[in-house]
């Protein structure tokens, strides 16, 4: 049994079978160290892949950011930042497979993106767009588990159902790891910036987040709020415990929470419409 688990873990963590990164991203990764490369230049590289650009723009106009209309890659880079556009390129290639066949997880992810953005704005935090992106990507490990080993995914869902346990617990039993760890490993393999990687890695264990604890705390709280609202589905149907350290880091209180719930529920109506539109084309 233990052998089988570690075999599964090994196969999931095998970089050779990772979905391929769009070549555009590899070009960007090699460029971004070069301080001289301008936004225009980077936008030109991304725009050369038309399908990818269209997907990026669609996500950039999703309710997770939806405070302005973004119509060109250059604008997206200026408004959302190069990091965000890069992450959206990655997200859109990974999520491409699941938009249609796992709508529930897609809804959950978009919902957490929206909630993370609203929380960040309400608290006046810097880099709201990056935080929204971390929210959008926080459960990316689940997508990887699904892509790489759909039988493991089925076993995990089966365990959740029969034993009424959290996704995280079921994952550890079946594959000896969990989606947070897989997500962390993925963000390293794909050179996502740490400020996105940390929330992905530690959204279920905020105390372990050292450099970007505030961002991680926002994503943790956003995840809990979306689970509480019952929007989408991320595997199990249980609201996880709010971690005290996240609550304290963000200095939340009852009043703030009540306002956030109201704002998030308002915005979720838009997310629902956005998902329907995506499914219909």
Partner 1 sequence: MQKIPLSSVTSDMILARDIFRGNMPVGMPVCNKGTQLTDDLIKRLENLDILSVYVEGCPVQEEGNNSLDIHLRELDGRFIKTFREPLNAILYNTYKAYLIRSMGGNSGRQTE
Q: Which residues bind Fe ion (CB under 5 A)?
A: 139, 223, 234
Q: Is 207 an interacting residue with respect to partner 1 (CB under 8 A)?
A: no
> Residues touching partner 1: how many (CB under 8 A)?
23
- CB burial readout 66-81, b (16+ within 10 A) else e: beeebeebbbbbebbb
Does 241 interact with partner 1 (rule: CB under 8 A)?
yes
Which two structure tokens, joined as six digits, stand for 203?
Answer: 């959204």
Write down the H helix ranges in the chain: 2-12, 23-32, 39-47, 50-60, 73-80, 82-95, 98-101, 103-122, 128-137, 140-148, 150-163, 167-175, 179-189, 194-202, 213-229, 244-249, 254-280
User: Closer CB to partner 1, residue 145 or residue 221?
Assistant: 221
> Is residue 244 within the footprint of partner 1 (CB under 8 A)?
yes
Beta carbon of residue 212, minimum distance to partner 1 (angstroms, whole number): 22
Contact 12/182 with Cβ under 8 angstroms?
yes
Binding mask 113-152 for partner 1 (x = CB under 8 A): ----------------------------------------
- Asked if 229 touches partner 1 (CB under 8 A), the answer is yes
Nearer to partner 1, 54 or 228 (CB): 228
Count of CB atoms within 10 A of residue 232's CB?
Answer: 22
224 forms part of the interface with partner 1 (CB under 8 A) = yes
The answer for residues whose C-beta is within 8 angstroms of residue 12's C-beta and 6 or more apart is 144, 145, 148, 149, 152, 175, 177, 182
| Residue 238 sits in the site that holds partner 1 (CB under 8 A) | yes
Contact yes or no for 58/278 (Cβ under 8 A): yes
* Single residue of 239, 267, 272, 278 touching partner 1 by CB under 8 A: 239
**Of 192, 190, 194, 187, which is closest to residue 209 (Cα–Cα)?**
194
Residue 234: contacted member of Fe ion, partner 1, none (CB under 5 to 8 Å, by partner type): Fe ion
Among 51, 54, 96, 228, binds partner 1 (CB under 8 A): 228
CB of residue 242 to partner 1, shortest distance in Å: 4
The two three-digit tokens of residue 70, written as one number? 């973004």
CB of 142 to Fe ion, least distance (A): 7
DSSP letter string over 213-258?
HHHHHHHHHHHHHHHHHT-S--SS--PPPPPHHHHHHTT--HHHHH
Which of 174, 190, 200, 183 is CA-nearest to residue 143? Answer: 183
Q: Which does 276 bind (CB under 5 to 8 A by kind): partner 1, Fe ion, none?
A: partner 1
Give the one entry of partner 1, Fe ion, none that residue 228 binds, where binding means its C-beta sits below a cut-off of 5 to 8 angstroms depending on kind.
Answer: partner 1
- Which of 63-71, 112-120, 136-144, 240-248 is the region at the interface with partner 1 (rule: CB under 8 A)? 240-248
**Which residues contact partner 1 (rule: CB under 8 A)?**
166, 224-225, 227-230, 237-242, 244, 247, 254, 257-258, 261-262, 265, 276, 280
């Amino acid at each position: 049994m233990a052998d089988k688990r570690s075999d599964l873990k090994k196969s999931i963590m095998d970089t050779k079978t990772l979905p391929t990164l769009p070549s555009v991203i590899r070009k960007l990764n090699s460029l971004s160290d070069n301080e001289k490369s301008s936004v225009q230049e980077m936008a030109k590289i991304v725009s050369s892949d038309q399908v990818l650009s269209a997907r990026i723009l669609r996500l950039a106009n999703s309710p997770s950011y939806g405070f302005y209309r973004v119509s060109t890659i250059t604008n997206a880079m200026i408004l959302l930042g190069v990091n965000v556009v890069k992450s959206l390129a990655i997200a859109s290639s990974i999520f491409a497979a699941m938009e249609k066949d796992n709508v529930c997880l897609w809804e959950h992810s978009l919902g957490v993106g929206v909630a993370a953005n609203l929380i960040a704005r309400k608290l006046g935090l810097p880099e709201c767009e990056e935080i929204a992106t971390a929210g959008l990507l926080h459960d990316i490990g689940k997508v990887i588990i699904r892509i790489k080993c759909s039988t493991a995914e089925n076993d995990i869902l089966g365990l959740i159902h029969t034993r009424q346990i959290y996704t995280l617990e079921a994952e550890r039993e079946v594959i000896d790891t969990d989606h947070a760890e897989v997500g962390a490993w993925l963000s390293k393999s794909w050179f996502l910036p740490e400020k996105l990687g940390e929330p992905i890695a530690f959204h279920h264990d905020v105390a372990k987040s050292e450099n970007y604890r505030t961002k991680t705390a926002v994503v943790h709280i956003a995840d809990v709020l979306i689970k509480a609202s019952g929007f989408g589905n991320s595997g199990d149907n249980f609201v996880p415990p709010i971690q005290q350290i996240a609550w304290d880091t963000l200095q939340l209180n009852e009043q703030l929470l009540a306002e956030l719930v109201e704002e998030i529920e308002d915005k979720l109506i838009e997310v629902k419409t956005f998902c329907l539109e995506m499914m219909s084309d």
